[in-house]
């Protein structure tokens, strides 16, 4: 089984991606991981990417595509399922991903989308308060999980701080980028009847159950991967 997961920053995508990989025995694949692995393994494409990154340059789409293709052929060849996270980032990449999977004799079985009301996202992200003491894991949210005393860490008593990027303006910019990039891909997958939309404004376990049920219903592999 191969899936793609989409979700805006703050939608809980990381947690759900891990749960899906465990439930369906998929390998989690993100663009950053694939690039780092190609560099580490010293593949030809990895060396090219490394040289560019060392110069502080962006790795072009073509090169990323080559690395994605190698990874797909390798994993599918080993009989493994894949969960793509953060890839495809646009419509061209979605089409390229299909071509690679077809070449490998496989396909995308389901595309999961975590939907969240922007107002809730703002509360989740902008309400975050983190402990300032190095090494302390104290993390709170003024709307959902406030500290006992405002601005003070429950764990160690140090002051809490809002991260600089956790403001509404920055978040709205990130959301606008996410929406404009992902919308065309989502329409593409919707036409193929692969989309599963799940409301992410719910308990982690409920979101997980909705995702698993939706994916099982979509997967038509008959290979038992989604049982």
Query: Closer CB to Zn ion, residue 135 or residue 224?
Result: 135
Residue recorded with tokens 């429950």: 154
User: Are 158 and 132 spatial neighbours (Cβ–Cβ below 8 Å)?
Assistant: yes
Query: Closer CB to Zn ion, residue 98 or residue 154?
Result: 154
Residue recorded with tokens 């396909």: 107
Query: Using CA atoms, how far apart are residues 187 and 181, in angstroms rounded to an integer?
Result: 11
Smallest distance, Zn ion to C-beta of residue 138, A: 3
Query: Closer CB to Zn ion, residue 15 or residue 158?
Result: 158
User: Are 130 and 160 spatial neighbours (Cβ–Cβ below 8 Å)?
Assistant: yes
Query: Closer CB to Zn ion, residue 131 or residue 200?
Result: 131
Residues designated catalytic: 13, 89, 128, 163, 174
| Residues in contact with Zn ion by the rule CB under 5 A | 131, 133, 136, 138, 153, 155-156, 158
User: Are 38 and 70 spatial neighbours (Cβ–Cβ below 8 Å)?
Assistant: yes
Smallest distance, Zn ion to C-beta of residue 129, A: 11
Smallest distance, Zn ion to C-beta of residue 159, A: 9
Alpha helix (H) ranges present in the chain? 13-24, 31-41, 44-54, 61-77, 91-103, 118-126, 168-191, 204-218
Query: Closer CB to Zn ion, residue 153 or residue 219?
Result: 153
Smallest distance, Zn ion to C-beta of residue 140, A: 10
Buried b (16+ CB within 10 A) or exposed e, 136-175: eebebebeeeebeeeebbeeeeeebeeeeebeeeebeebb
Smallest distance, Zn ion to C-beta of residue 132, A: 8
Q: How many CA atoms lie within 13 A of 170 on its CB side?
A: 9
């Amino acid at each position: 089984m191969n899936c793609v997961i989409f979700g805006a920053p703050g939608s809980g995508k990381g947690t759900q991606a891990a749960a899906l990989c465990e439930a369906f025995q998929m390998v989690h694949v993100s663009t950053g991981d694939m690039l780092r692995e190609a560099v580490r393994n010293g593949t030809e494409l990895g060396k090219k990417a490394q040289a560019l990154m060392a110069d502080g340059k962006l790795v072009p789409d073509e090169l990323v595509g080559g690395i994605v293709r190698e990874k797909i052929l390798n994993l599918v060849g080993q009989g493994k399922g894949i969960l793509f996270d953060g890839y495809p980032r646009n419509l061209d990449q979605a089409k390229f991903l299909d071509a690679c999977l077809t070449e490998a004799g496989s396909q995308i079985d389901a595309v999961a989308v975590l939907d969240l009301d922007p107002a809730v996202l703002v509360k989740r992200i902008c309400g975050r308060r983190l402990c300032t003491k190095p090494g302390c894991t104290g993390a709170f949210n003024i709307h959902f999980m406030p500290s006992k005393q405002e601005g003070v860490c429950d764990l160690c008593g140090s002051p809490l701080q809002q991260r600089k990027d956790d403001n509404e303006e920055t978040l709205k910019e990130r959301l606008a980028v996410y929406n404009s990039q992902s919308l065309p891909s989502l329409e593409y997958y919707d036409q193929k009847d692969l989309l599963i939309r799940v409301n992410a404004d719910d308990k982690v376990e409920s979101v997980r159950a909705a995702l698993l049920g939706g994916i099982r219903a979509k997967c038509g592999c008959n290979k038992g991967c989604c049982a």
